[in-house]
Chain A
Amino acid sequence: MRPFAAGAPAYQRLPRIYWALIALVLAGTIAAPQFRTASNIANILEQSGTLAVLAIGQAFVIAGGMIDLSVGQLVGLITVLSCMLFEAYPSMTLPVVAGCLGLAALVGLLNGELINRLRMSPLILTFGMLSVLQGCIFMLTDRSIGQAAPSVAFLSNGRLAGIPVSLFLVAAVAIVAYYALQRSVFGWHLLAMGNSADSSRKAGLNLAALTRIAFLVSGLCAGVAGLLVAGRLGTGFPNAGNGLELDAIVAVVLGGTPLKGGRVSVVGILGAVLFLGVLNNLLNLLQVPAFTQIVVKGAIVILAILADRPGRLAQAA
């Protein structure tokens, strides 16, 4: 079923970020000789997996006109918890994975419930939750702990015929998200809520349920991202999630999804994630000094939201 009306994000052209990505790739190929080797490209794809999953989860929340700032610390919590459990129960990998994903989804659900019941702005609620979760992590451990299960490590670091295994996972998540957000009634309702909560409520949509589901998905994606990080690091590092929520939001906005919601493009988000991955890679390959890299990162955040203007993106479509 093809939804129509203001919420339908059927872009006729490639999202703008892809032009930036192509330009960056061309510049990179010229400036850094090792950039276009197969192993480097595979590296970039592998390094970008976590952000891709996290940004897709965040897209559900942003599409509905909300925001989830707690995902970074939730990733950290899942990374630590999963590694602790993997090490303690090495033969129970699958139940541990299931349990951690369930926990992540539950935290997301909790966020949604609190927003509904306390009638609080998602911004503040998830901002406070960020601190709460960070405290939880440090009550579990103050140093790296545990050991990732070999299968999870393979998921994050392994290659099949040169292609990173995590890429398949990301692709699967992206396809499901695409259908849920851009090709289903649920997505249509979610975008309507993002467009105008008042009109949606008057039209009879169940905003509370939409909120709950959006945050549940965001939490679940944070759980998946947490497992990917655990595999990448091989151990549960408590600060592993610091700042990831900002990265995810930037990726969503750079990909052409406005922060106030109402429209979404999964393809755009993937393009933005690739853009950021290529950028970080080039900054290292070109030996840009460390402190300059920090300024560049902050500038990208600012530029991303300055470019997030409703008029300009509508013109692109």
Chain B
Amino acid sequence: MRKKLLTMMAATMVAGFATSASIAQDMDLTKKETYDQIMTWANEPLDTSKYKKDGDLTIGVSAGYLSNAWINFTGQAIKYEASLHPEIKEVKITDAAFNPTKQAADIEDLLTSGVDAILFWPVDEKAILPVLKKAHDQGVVTINIGYNYMHDDAVTSNAYVNQWTYAEQVATNFAKSLDGKGKVVAMLPIAGSSAAVVQLAVLQEVLKGYPEMELISSEYGDWDRAKAKQLTENLLQRFPQIDGAFSPAGQMSMGIYEAFDEAGRLDELTLSPGDDYNGWTKLVAKEGKWGSVTSGLEVGREAVKQAVKILTGQPTTTAVVVPTRYLEPAEAAKLHEADRPDDWFKTDLPAEFLPQ
């Protein structure tokens, strides 16, 4: 009996390991063509007539997580934008704290309490689909917010920031700032996340055009300043010469900067443009170099506007795309707010809507 169970267990695990290699991605995130396709979808007109509702609107927000500053500001932006529309009577917010099972329950509870639209950022795009189908079947508008485009019948619309373009802006300006020469490392977000996959793919693509640049290591800093610092310290030990660090996330760039500074090798370093994270922009203001690419914070407000348009039957496109811009160091420095914490973003939210 035990032998049979043992072989079954072994077989199951072997099958598991064997299949893990062969499962294909639905959309190949490493190819530019995917993103061109997304932009085509985004620009198609959306038939909003079937969603039109009269009377007051209730907006539900299903946050996959609320535990980082960018997401927090997005959530606040949604509340602010909603307050500007008199037809929106109420905004209901739930937080799944990185738990997809809870997100499913959250959305079911939002549906029970009666909402006309659900704005969300998923803990996991695939895991959220079953419950989104339920929402869609009930005629509720569903809008995905963020860097991952969801192309599915259950998702009515997307408020989207194009990751490829974003990473491209960072990488090309990075290569230029190095005059196309040097050994570089890459500091990427959580391994396996779409952001990490795209950023690496874009960097490698851009580096093809600069044969005198070499990517000597990619590290996964999980968007964590401390981890980025620790990984960089290890890199500094392994490599006697590092000319540049590709790090689109300003929070991680700060960790890299500190590691180089403490190792006394700051002169070697050229950092790529970061984003609009306040800690990063303060650094840019202090150093006078290394710019930023805006991170598309307005996406929360755009999502609310899109929801209103759909629910009032106005014409709109299938997705609303928020563009990102490269900012020269001088411009990027203007974004910093010295009397605000590092974990902050400069926005035009009025005081009562800032995170408390």
With the chains together, A81 CA to B9 CA distance in Å?
11
B22 contact set on A, CB distance < 8 A:
88
The residue in chain A whose Cβ has the minimal distance to the Cβ of B18 is: A88
Evaluate whether A281 and B109 lie within 8 angstroms (CB atoms) in the complex, with A153-B130, A233-B127 already known.
yes
With the chains together, A102 CA to B125 CA distance in Å?
30
B193: CB under 8 A from chain A?
A: yes
Give me 24 A-to-B residue pairs in the complex whose CB atoms sit less than 8 angstroms apart, sorted by A's number: A34-B113, A34-B114, A43-B109, A47-B108, A85-B12, A88-B23, A102-B8, A102-B9, A102-B12, A103-B9, A106-B8, A144-B127, A145-B20, A145-B23, A146-B23, A233-B126, A234-B129, A237-B123, A237-B124, A239-B98, A284-B110, A285-B112, A290-B63, A290-B93
Contact between chains at A99 and B11 (CB < 8 Å): yes
Contact with A along B1-23 (1 / 0, CB 8 A): 00001101101110111011011
Evaluate whether A232 and B192 lie within 8 angstroms (CB atoms) in the complex, with A34-B114, A103-B8, A140-B20 already known.
no
Contact with A along B77-119 (1 / 0, CB 8 A): 0000000000000001111011111001110111011100000
Contact of A290 among B97, B124, B127, B192 (CB under 8 A): B97
B193 contact set on A, CB distance < 8 A:
143
A109 contact set on B, CB distance < 8 A:
5
Name A residues whose Cβ lies closer than 8 Å to a Cβ of B.
32, 34, 37, 39-40, 43, 47, 50, 81, 84-85, 87-89, 98-100, 102-103, 105-106, 109, 140-147, 153, 157, 229, 232-235, 237, 239-240, 242-243, 280-281, 284-285, 287, 289-291, 293-294
A39 contact set on B, CB distance < 8 A:
112
Contact between chains at B114 and A232 (CB < 8 Å): no
Evaluate whether A232 and B8 lie within 8 angstroms (CB atoms) in the complex, with A34-B113, A81-B16, A144-B126 already known.
no
B66: CB under 8 A from chain A?
A: yes
Q: List 14 other contacts, CB 8 Å, given A105-B5, A281-B109, A290-B63.
A: A34-B113, A84-B23, A88-B19, A103-B13, A147-B126, A232-B101, A233-B100, A233-B126, A233-B130, A239-B98, A243-B99, A284-B106, A285-B112, A290-B94
Contact between chains at B108 and A43 (CB < 8 Å): yes
Contact of B12 among A47, A103, A229 (CB under 8 A): A103
With the chains together, A37 CA to B111 CA distance in Å?
12
CB distance from A296 to the nearest CB of B (A): 13
B69: CB under 8 A from chain A?
A: no
With the chains together, A243 CA to B113 CA distance in Å?
27
With the chains together, A99 CA to B4 CA distance in Å?
11
B191: CB under 8 A from chain A?
A: yes
Evaluate whether A235 and B12 lie within 8 angstroms (CB atoms) in the complex, with A240-B101, A284-B105 already known.
no
Contact between chains at A287 and B12 (CB < 8 Å): no
B11 contact set on A, CB distance < 8 A:
99
B6 contact set on A, CB distance < 8 A:
106
A85 contact set on B, CB distance < 8 A:
12, 15-16, 19
With the chains together, A58 CA to B109 CA distance in Å?
28
A147 contact set on B, CB distance < 8 A:
126
Contact between chains at A242 and B99 (CB < 8 Å): yes
